[in-house]
Homo-oligomer: A and B are copies of this chain.
């Protein structure tokens, strides 16, 4: 089977690539070749499987056609600019997050007009399609009320994915990822950055800033769970989805206080003492509009599995990023 990963250089893309190459198969089908695409060509990991890399900007209309010319059987579309950037640069957000996805869907549809072609397309959507007012626990039939251009773009792509799938042009599955914690690497300026920072920095012996109250509740998944969602979506029986091709993934609901308690259990009081509370009303206000928890019943019934506790999420970070060592 031929596999294409678009957005392969990002954090989730790199972890997905590693998992694909380590497993060597998806849903029982051996991976014959893997193409890794991103705006800047990703590094090709050493592997027994043929790995090709490509510098590809989906927002250029002809690029999607080049990527699907080899008719991949399975396509992961992870490429997007993040929420903050899509809000700061309106045109770029629509060009990449909306037009890029549409070019890909169109390239797949047009490829199928000469010879039958019906690839599985796994698209990463986001819980940013939802915004206040929201119930405490959000069901699977919650209507889309995005409060950002990023969330709007993801919601539109969900609708396109369902329509192109209904028409038989593609076999699409959209998965709404929870906020990924613990993100490895340096602190960034995303409003959600502190959810990872208050775990990652103390584990590395560094101070972390907490800009919101301990009572703030949000919806999380580890990078390992996110890769698991992607792989499950790649081999799922899509006949079970009907016309609704997009699914909220089963994350873990936790408060900041619960995050800190888990950190204490794993790394002790010297770690939690490194968290400095510096209230930031701007960030608090943004975060107040975010979803707190979901039912995710459809996804669970379909076999998607999330993390079981915040202790497990921290343990995954320690194992995958810190070589099992703390501080």
Contact = CB atoms under 8 A, between A and B. Distances in A.
Contacts of A109: 90
Contacts of A143: 141-144
B243 A167 contact: no
A244 interface: yes
B141 A166 contact: no
Given A156-B160, A160-B156, A162-B152, A145 B90 contact: no
Contacts of A145: 243-244
A159 interface: yes
A264 interface: no
A202 interface: no
A261 interface: no
Nearest to A87: B167
How many copies the complex holds: the figure is 2
Interface residues of A, number: 22
Nearest to A142: B143
B163 A149 contact: yes
A131 B242 CA distance: 12
User: Which 6 A-B pairs give the minimum distances between C-beta atoms?
Assistant: A143-B143, A152-B163, A156-B156, A141-B143, A152-B159, A155-B159
Given A143-B143, A144-B144, A146-B163, 10 more contacts: A143-B144, A145-B243, A145-B244, A146-B159, A147-B166, A149-B163, A152-B159, A152-B162, A152-B163, A155-B159
28 contacts: A90-B109, A90-B167, A131-B243, A141-B142, A141-B143, A142-B143, A143-B143, A143-B144, A144-B144, A144-B159, A145-B243, A145-B244, A146-B159, A146-B162, A146-B163, A147-B166, A147-B243, A149-B163, A149-B167, A152-B159, A152-B160, A152-B162, A152-B163, A155-B159, A156-B156, A156-B159, A156-B160, A159-B159
